Structures are given as structure tokens and as C-alpha cells.
Structure 1
Amino acid sequence: MEALREAKAYLTVYVHPSNAGDVPRAVARQLSTLLFSYEEHFDGVLLAHETTVADYKKAKIEDKTQVEGPKRLRAKILNGLVPYFGVKVQANLLLFSPQPDMILEGKVELLGKESIHAIVLGVFSVAIMSDDIHEKFKFKRKGDGGRFVSRSDREHVIKRGTMIRFSVKSVDTEMNCHINGSLIPPHTGSMRWLSVHDVEYASEISRNLRRKTDIGVKIEQSEQEHRILKNEDSMVKPGRPHKSRKRSIEDR
């Protein structure tokens, strides 16, 4: 899927001294609060992350690069200041960053004569309005809510539960990457039908099958981590002050 990309980022994550005993876990927790929401820092939605905390320094000795032991740091809390300390982090990120004219895939959740509504990666909503549905498709009302059937091939059907391939028309980042899609460009429609009748798409499937499996595992792990984090937060006492996640992480 075009909208999925991997990126490397160098960040400064601010950690409270109470979490100094396990800094890597504290850093991972901070980043996990950003999962599945659009972040301007990353120009996309964070789906998964792997982090390395910069505990070591490199020094050149006799033209050789050696890794020395962990730095020994001394610090004190200054009166009147929030006692967070910055941790330099190298992060490998998996991002969802849809752009106009990209080709994406989603599952149809609801459809009617005027629109098709789908979901991408089980998280992001897609709306395809009637003006963006190819004229070759004709809507037929059925007992199961209706379906779009191709005038040229009755086997090309789009109904609830169908996996579709569509083009991105626009993206609303303020609504967490809500997508407006289109079924007018070529190589769009029911993925099942395209896999048999569209040679270009069939060859693309074989190229991307392994990558999709790896990405699916990463996203599933992130969803589990996100659920655990939300459950832990729901057990925190009401009197605990709220920390803004927007101010806890910044670019290095």
C-alpha cells in the first residue's frame, strides 16, 4: 500500500524523574500515546515504532571507532521548573501518510445509492461519493442493503464486506486522516475481480504479499500495546495531573 512508509527519526523525549529507573520503557510509553493519531511531527499517523535510547557515545581513537561505556550524568532539579529530563532517541517509525492520487485498499462497511463508505487498516474511514463512482457501476437495491454492479461485467460487484481498491482524492488530517476516495481511475474497484481480470494488479499482488504480512504483524502488535496503555491509564487515580503529549516529544 502506497500510503505506508517507514521513517527514521531523531527525537528528544521528556521523561519524569520517577521513571528514571526504566528509561527505555518510559520512552516507549510516551511514543505509544501517539499511536493511531495524526502527528504533524511525522506528517502521518504513527502505526508502530521501535526505539533506541542514546546511552552510549562514540569516540575515534587511532582512526578506529570504539563504543565506550554508558555516560555518567549528574543532574539536579531546579526550583520553579518542571523536573523532566530529555532523552535522545533514535526511532524507526511505521507511518500511514495518504496523499492525493495514491492507490489504497479498504473494506466496504456501508453503501447506498449516493455513496460508499469503507475502512482502511481497520482504523481509517473512507467516503466515496456518487460523483466519484465510475458510471459503469449501477446501484441495485437488494435485501442486504444494495450493491454496485458493473454494466460491462456482472461479476464485478461491490457490496458490504467487499475489499476495494480506490484512488485518494483528498485527506482531512484534522479528522485523523479521513479520506475522500474515487473509483473512477483505472485499476480500481473490487480487489477480488481485479486480481483475476487486471493483469497489472495481479502482478502487483505477488510483489507486495510478503511486505503486507510483515506490516500487518507490526500494526497488530501496536494495537495490543495501545490497548494495554489505555487500560493502564484508566486505573490511574483521578488526582494525578494530566501531561500534554504534544509537549512531551519534540524533534531533535
Structure 2
Amino acid sequence: MEGVTEHNASLVVYLHPSKAKCVNEAILSELSSMLFTYSETFEGVVLGYDPNISSHLAKILPGIHPYFGVKLRAKMLVFNPMPNMVLEGEVVKITPQSIHAVVLRFSSAFIADEDIRDDFKHKIKRGNEVYVSRSNKKHKIKVGTTLRFTVKSFDEDILHISGSLAANNTGCAQWLDKNLDAWSQFDRTTKNRKNGEGEDKKPENDRLLMKREISSLENDEPVKNAKKNRKERG
């Protein structure tokens, strides 16, 4: 999935002197406090870490409480969704005006009615709310569906994603994977129609203009013949 990256980072963890006898545990505790929060250092939400503590040598910092810093390297797994990225999440709620999902089990995603393409129609089946594709009734979005959508924006403070289902490559991930040829062909056809709108008008205009010119020539011919006959009589 897009938006998830791995960073090889060089870190310095500052520990209280009381932690000197259990440095490893203290370092892991400090790294754990970074999980599922947005880090400006890594420009994303920290999902996981794999530290490599090569040495316990530390530098004592001056001050009233002489903390000491331990250097280490760590692999950091970071989540940073950007606009137009394609993400997946599990649908947890559906209403006539929106679809709600959870991404990576911690970040909420919201798709408003205005961002759901017209191909999807809201229905109630057997008491459950679903979105069904008009072009293919087997393409459904319901609670529990793995939803594939594009990112509009990401709120770093509350870890909330605003998404969109406007593109043809979005919807139920399972259906999209099974019917790759169907939706990709539909996507190409749609783009060709949009790109061809301006080109189709020109030949049509040319044909209309040609018809007018032919009609004008036909109407002028009797007038010219009448003038010629009058000259011959005179």
C-alpha cells in the first residue's frame, strides 16, 4: 500500500540516570512512546521500529538532572498519506451521505457523498446499507469490505483521512483485483470520450458548413441562368 515507508535513522535517546541499569528496556520504552503519533522528524506516523543498539556508551548531559544520551540506529516504519495516493481500509459504517473506514487499524477515513462517483448507488438490502455499482451489480461496498480509495487530505493532529471514490480504480478492492480488465477498459473508454469531445465537434461543423455551401450554389444557379436568358433576348 502507498504511504508506508521505511527509514534508516540515526537516533539519540535521552535517559534518566535511574535507567542506567536497564538501558535496553528504557530505550524500547522511549521508542514505544512514539508509536501511532505523528513525528515531524520522520514526517509521518510511526508504525514500528527495529533498533540496533551497538554500544551502551553514553554522554552525560549537564544540568540539574544529568540525563545521558545513547546513540543507536533503527529502522522506522512510517505512514504518511499524501494527496492522490491509493490507500486501503476496512469499511466500518455506511450512510446515504458517506462511507467510513479504518486504515491500518488506527486511522479513520471518511468519504463524503460528493466524492463518491455517480456509478455507485446507495441501497438497503436485507436491512444493511450498501453501495452498488450501476454498471456492475456484483461490485458492492458494504461493512467489512476492503475499500480502495484515493487520498484528498490528511489531518496530522487527529490522524484523520479525507478520501475519494471518484476514480474508476477505486471501490471494493477484491472486485477490482478480480476484474482488472473490466474497470481498466471502462477507464480508458471514459478518458477517450473526454479527450475526443473537442475533436468530434470540428468534423461535424465542417460537414454542416459544406452542406450550406452546396445549398448556396444550388440556389444561385437558377438566378444565373435567368440573367443569361434575358441578355440573349435583348
TM-score tier after normalising by the smaller chain length: 0.7 to 0.9
Q: Is the 8 A contact 1:46 1:93 kept in 2?
A: yes
Counterpart AA for 1:182: S
- The residue that corresponds to 2:212 in the other structure is none
SS of the aligned residue for 2:157 comes to: helix
SS of the aligned residue for 1:174 comes to: coil
- The residue that corresponds to 1:193 in the other structure is 175
> Could you list the per-position Cα deviations for residues 95-120 of structure 1 after superposition, in whole angstroms to 9, with x for gaps in the alignment?
11111110000110001110000001
Q: Which structure carries more relative contact order (alpha carbon 8 Å, separation 6+)?
A: 1
How many percent of aligned residue pairs carry the same amino acid? Answer: 42
- The residue that corresponds to 1:112 in the other structure is 95
- The residue that corresponds to 1:178 in the other structure is 160
- The residue that corresponds to 1:81 in the other structure is 64
- The residue that corresponds to 1:42 in the other structure is 42
SS of the aligned residue for 1:23 comes to: helix
Counterpart AA for 1:48: G
Q: Following TM superposition, by how much is the alpha carbon of 1:141 offset from its aligned partner in structure 2, in angstroms?
A: 2.3
Q: Is the 8 A contact 1:166 1:188 kept in 2?
A: yes
- The residue that corresponds to 1:128 in the other structure is 111
Matched, 1:160 2:143: yes
Q: Which runs of 5+ in 1 are unaligned?
A: 56-69, 203-252
- TM-score normalised by structure 1 residue count: 0.68
Counterpart AA for 1:47: L
> Could you list the per-position Cα deviations for residues 219-250 of structure 1 after superposition, in whole angstroms to 9, with x for gaps in the alignment?
xxxxxxxxxxxxxxxxxxxxxxxxxxxxxxxx
Q: Quick one: structure 1 residues 200 and 33, their matched pair in 2 at CA, closer, same or farther if it must change by over 3 Å?
A: farther
SS of the aligned residue for 2:99 comes to: strand
- The residue that corresponds to 1:53 in the other structure is 53
- The residue that corresponds to 2:80 in the other structure is 97
- TM-score normalised by structure 2 residue count: 0.73
Matched, 1:13 2:17: no
Q: Which runs of 5+ in 2 are unaligned?
A: 185-234
Larger radius of gyration: 2
Q: Following TM superposition, by how much is the alpha carbon of 1:201 offset from its aligned partner in structure 2, in angstroms?
A: 9.7
SS of the aligned residue for 2:128 comes to: coil
User: How many aligned positions are there?
Assistant: 184
SS of the aligned residue for 2:26 comes to: helix
Task: State the alpha-carbon separation in 1 of the partners of residues 59 and 83 from structure 2.
Answer: 50
More helix by share: 2
